[in-house]
């Protein structure tokens, strides 16, 4: 089997595994029994789970999202190493001959989470799964991105700020650690897609409206999802305009 075909098959497997909506499942099974798509930001990621289902659910979501990314890419790299390189794992390192294949697997993990095939291609924002898959792709790059995230998110309380700059640091850090050539293309796709997934957060940051990280406590009132709130606001505005016209 040729390397491109094998990579495509393994990438599909990564996409399907990482598309599993861990946050949605965990929040529903939590004591709050909440559908995170209908509260807060409407996102299925760890941050919205923390705000709607509490610390335990958020920690489990982080573990599961990062875990599925790490397991998916490591298993896929193992298959490629065995089938395409006679069991030589080193050939799947990002700096080696199979670097493009490994970078493609990494991108598939993140894209699977953001565009979950189980939720009509809507999902999370790729940060937790990106950490896990990144560790399986090139751990020095992943840990450096985590450092960027921590330096920005912890002091400010804005998870989105750390996430966006961590994503933007991916390609420069990959270059720093020896990744070259076409292997950088899937990494650029990851970076741009994660920033795109945070586009509303970026707008709110620029307007000074972004919420800081918070953890839901039992008894706290849940916020309605942004989509529902926007829809109700639009309906109210339309009704007001109809009244004026009348």
Q: In the chain, where are the structural domains located?
A: 3-220
Please tell me the least confidently modeled range out of 42-56, 117-131, 187-201: 42-56
Banded pLDDT at 223 (limits 50, 70, 90): low
Whole-angstrom Cα distance, residue 215 to residue 192? 28
The number of angstroms, rounded, from the C-alpha of 37 to the middle of its chain's C-alpha atoms is 15
More confident residue, 175 or 223: 175
| Paired strand residues for 124 | none
Confidence of residue 222 (pLDDT cuts 50, 70, 90): low
Stated pTM of the model: 0.88
Contact (Cβ atoms closer than 8 angstroms) between residue 150 and residue 127: no
**Beta bridge mates, 224:** 39
pLDDT at 218: 65
8: pLDDT confidence band, cut at 50, 70 and 90? very high
Q: For residue 164, which phi and psi values (nearest 5 degrees)?
A: -65, -45
3-state secondary structure of 240: helix
Q: Please provide the average confidence, as pLDDT, over all residues in the chain.
A: 90
Q: Report the sign of the C-alpha dihedral through residues 92, 98, 104, 105, in that order.
A: negative
């Amino acid at each position: 089997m040729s390397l491109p075909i094998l990579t495509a098959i393994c990438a599909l497997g990564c996409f399907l595994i990482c598309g599993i909506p861990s946050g949605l499942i965990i929040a529903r099974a939590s004591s709050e029994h909440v559908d995170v798509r209908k509260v807060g930001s409407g996102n299925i990621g760890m941050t919205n789970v923390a705000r709607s289902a509490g610390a335990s659910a958020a920690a489990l979501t982080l573990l599961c999202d990062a875990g599925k990314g790490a397991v998916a890419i490591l298993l896929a790299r193992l298959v490629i190493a065995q089938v395409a390189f006679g069991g030589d794992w080193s050939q799947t390192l990002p700096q080696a001959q199979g670097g493009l294949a490994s970078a493609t697997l990494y991108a598939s993990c993140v894209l699977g989470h953001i565009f979950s095939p189980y939720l009509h291609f809507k999902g999370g924002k790729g940060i937790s799964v990106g950490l896990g898959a990144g560790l399986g792709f090139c751990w020095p790059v992943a840990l450096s991105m985590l450092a960027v995230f921590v330096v920005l998110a912890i002091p400010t309380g804005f998870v989105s700020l750390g996430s966006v700059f961590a994503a933007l640091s991916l390609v420069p850090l990959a270059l720093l650690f020896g990744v070259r050539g076409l292997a950088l293309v899937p990494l650029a796709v990851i970076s741009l897609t994660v920033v795109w997934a945070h586009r509303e957060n970026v707008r709110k940051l620029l307007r000074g409206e972004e919420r800081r990280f918070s953890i839901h406590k039992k008894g706290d009132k849940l916020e309605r999802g942004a989509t529902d709130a926007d829809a109700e606001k639009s309906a109210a505005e339309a009704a007001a305009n109809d009244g004026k016209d009348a």
